[in-house]
């Protein structure tokens, strides 16, 4: 793909070139232009606790190619993967799985016989008119993954999505469409990282995940972007009747991360488990939201958000469970807990329940507090150094979230990355 060089990427000319080079259908080009038209009228996703400073969308290049053959993660040992480096991609499916799943870039799906299915499912719940990031995401959409798992399939190896930012001033706008068939079981692991230091770039990533009736979807996300990156994430979960979606994610990298998870439990027996683990240091800022809407009876959700902040880092957890009047016999619990390692760090935990039916089970818990100096003293009397004592307490604090991670290699990888960040 040739590079587009324009003074300001927010122009109809840029969008026309992007769409033309990607050979997109007219309906998608029209949506791009609609998003561009409203961009100037929208606000940044700011709040009392989150301010977006230093965001410069006009200097981004949305068509910088990358090298998917040279990323920081060793994918060659994997059976099923897709690598996205900047706006370039490549993928591999082991022959034993080729009759069970479809895996390709979103661009290829639109061009190779899946355009009608993409049109039917994509943007079902995603609203590009929410804020400047969502409008920018659609207007400059330049990457994304299409995964379609057929009915009655059990994949015993994970499908890997590896996203790597490889260039300064890159604008990566990735949209994933994941459709899992009835009674199918699959694990998807997403790695988001980069080979930059503090260089500026912007990454938006939206995933729409549909779990068919009776399916079980494990979605695992490891986020370790560079310290100059603005990161906007949306994940939209739509499980069908008796389907379960289990999300496990960590937040380690990025300068500013704004994330929004939305789950719509529209049919009886659908379930969501959303586990998020955050570790912020330096001047990082994490703004994390988990929203679950119970619309039908006998639905279930469990949200666990735990984070640690040190130095001058900030984090805010928003949790909202909305149980509608027809969702009797629903079961929900929301947990938000943050630990501050020094006086300069800040955190806010803001849980909320909206319950419109009395015949449900719902609860929440939230805490924000400093590390306990008496516990540090006690551990030091048992032979640990102060640093070792602090590390042990943090590990104990995060343990309830780690216990929710039931895949050993994921738990070990996230723990290893947190250990590495501890010494930064």
State the 10-residue block means of pLDDT for the chain, 424 residues long. 49 89 94 95 96 92 91 90 95 95 96 94 96 96 97 95 94 97 97 89 97 97 93 98 96 96 98 95 97 98 95 97 97 96 95 95 94 87 87 84 77 81 71
User: How far, in whole angstroms, is CA 202 from its chain's centroid?
Assistant: 15
Domain coordinates in residue numbering, the chain? 12-265
Can you give the pLDDT at residue 4? 35
Can you give the pLDDT at residue 275? 94
Can you give the pLDDT at residue 314? 97
Can you give the pLDDT at residue 182? 98
Can you give the pLDDT at residue 424? 61
Can you give the pLDDT at residue 5? 39
């Amino acid at each position: 793909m040739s590079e587009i060089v324009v003074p300001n990427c927010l122009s109809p000319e840029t969008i026309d070139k992007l769409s033309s080079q990607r050979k997109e259908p007219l309906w998608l080009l029209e949506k791009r232009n609609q998003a561009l038209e409203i961009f100037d009228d929208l606000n940044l996703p700011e709040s009392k606790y989150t301010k977006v400073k230093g965001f410069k969308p006009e200097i981004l290049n949305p068509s910088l190619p990358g090298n998917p053959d040279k990323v920081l993660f060793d994918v060659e040992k994997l059976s099923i993967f897709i690598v996205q480096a900047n706006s370039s991609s490549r993928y591999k499916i082991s022959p034993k799985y080729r009759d069970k799943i479809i895996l390709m870039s979103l661009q290829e799906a639109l061009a190779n016989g899946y355009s009608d299915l993409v049109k039917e499912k994509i943007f079902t719940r995603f609203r590009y008119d929410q804020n400047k990031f969502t409008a920018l995401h659609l207007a400059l959409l330049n990457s994304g993954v299409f995964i379609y798992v057929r009915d009655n399939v059990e994949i015993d190896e994970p499908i890997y999505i590896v996203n790597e930012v490889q260039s300064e001033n890159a604008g990566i706008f990735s949209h994933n469409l994941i459709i899992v068939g009835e009674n199918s079981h699959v694990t998807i692991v997403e790695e988001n990282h980069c080979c930059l230091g503090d260089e500026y770039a912007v990454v938006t990533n939206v995933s729409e995940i549909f779990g068919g009736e009776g399916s079980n979807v494990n979605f695992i996300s490891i986020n370790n972007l560079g310290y100059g990156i603005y990161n906007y994430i949306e994940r939209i979960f739509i499980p069908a009747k008796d389907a379960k979606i289990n999300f496990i994610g960590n937040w380690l990298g990025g300068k500013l991360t704004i994330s929004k998870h939305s789950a719509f439990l529209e049919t009886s027996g659908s379930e969501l488990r959303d586990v998020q683990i955050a570790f912020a240091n330096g001047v990082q800022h994490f703004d994390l939201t988990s929203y679950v809407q119970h619309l039908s009876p006998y639905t279930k959700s469990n949200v666990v958000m735990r984070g640690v902040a040190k130095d001058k880092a900030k984090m805010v957890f928003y949790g909202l469970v909305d149980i509608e009047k027809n969702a009797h016999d629903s079961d929900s619990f929301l947990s938000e807990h943050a630990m501050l390692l020094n006086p300069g760090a800040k955190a806010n935990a803001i849980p909320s329940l909206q319950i419109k039916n009395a015949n449900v089970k719902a609860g929440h818990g939230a805490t924000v507090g400093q590390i306990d100096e008496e516990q540090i003293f006690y551990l030091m009397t048992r032979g640990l150094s102060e640093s070792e004592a602090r590390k042990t307490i943090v590990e104990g604090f995060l343990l309830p979230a780690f216990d929710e991670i039931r895949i050993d290699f994921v738990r070990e990888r996230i723990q290893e990355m947190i250990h590495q960040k501890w010494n930064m």
